[in-house]
Amino acid sequence: MGKAGGRKSVFITGAASGIGAETARFFSKKGWFCGLYDIDEPGLKMIENELGPDNCHTARLDVTSREDWATGIASFGEATEGCMNVLFNNAGIGRHGWIEDIPQEQSDLMIDINLKGVINGIYAALPLLKQTPGARIVNTASTAGVVGSPQLAVYSATKFAVRGLTEALDVEFSELGIRVTSLMPWFIDTPILDMGTTEGANIKMSDQLKESGAEVYPVSVAAEAAWEAAHGKDVHYMAGKRAKQARFAARFLPGRMRKQIMQGLPKRD
């Protein structure tokens, strides 16, 4: 395991693939020390080998486990001499389908990971963030946290909640010198697009996106936006042109947006 050695540091959950892994690559190229955390240990090892063991710290972390958070934060603090410039609360899962077809246990898991996992991370990391000048929390939300998304109802609800949490804590932590921002991607080419009603389901969201011709952005777009979220003055950072358009439409043209969503909604079988 590496040591930060005075470098700026970022703690990334969901770091084994997708936006988390690409963000680690982006920050590492900028000279940052990366903490990489995920339940996917083989995936973490691959990213560690790619970045170089001297440039990162890795450990298994289930964001629903407060014990895992305590252990991860403690070891990260040892590697960074008690500093954390950015907490990137990125881990998340999704389930796609009509709400009555998604098992309630799967909805519980989305809430536990996407929302409670973020809250767990904020509680656990706050001591390190407080003692790091100019520290920041970046929470991965979604365009589904701006526009209520059918067939992603519970996922959308968790992302609306993350958005609200971000806005509230950005004000609440202002006296502490800690900024809180969110990353709000459009559809990004990551494993989460393979979500179905359950894990391993045959019908995937990615199939429906292909059929509808919906725009899907490369993961690099989200990593660049994550960098901006860690440095910029705004609260929310949209990843992808369509995300920016959706935010505008939700604010100024809500009736038109609802009509478009209704027109694109598939019929129940």
Question: Pick the catalytic residue: 37, 123, 155, 217?
Answer: 155
Is 155 a residue of the active site? yes
Q: What share of the chain is helix, strand, coil (3-state, %, to 5)?
A: 55, 15, 35
**Phi, psi angles (nearest 5°) of residue 36:** -115, 120
Helical spans, DSSP H, in 96-152: 104-110, 117-130
Q: HSE of 153 in the Cβ direction (CA atoms, 13 Å)? A: 14
Structure-token pair, residue 28:
């590492």
Query: Roughly how many angstroms between the first and final C-alpha of the chain, as a whole number?
Result: 52
Residue with tokens 């963000």: 23
CB 197 within 8 A of CB 101: yes
Q: Please report, for residues 17, 47, 62, 156, the alpha-carbon distance to residue 115 in angstroms, rounded to integers and kept in the order given.
A: 19, 25, 13, 11
Do the strands 136-140 and 179-185 form a parallel or antiparallel pair, or are they unpaired?
Answer: parallel
Residue with tokens 């339940």: 39
Structure-token pair, residue 265:
């909604």
Do the strands 9-13 and 86-89 form a parallel or antiparallel pair, or are they unpaired?
Answer: parallel
Structure-token pair, residue 41:
């240990």
- Residues recognised as catalytic: 155
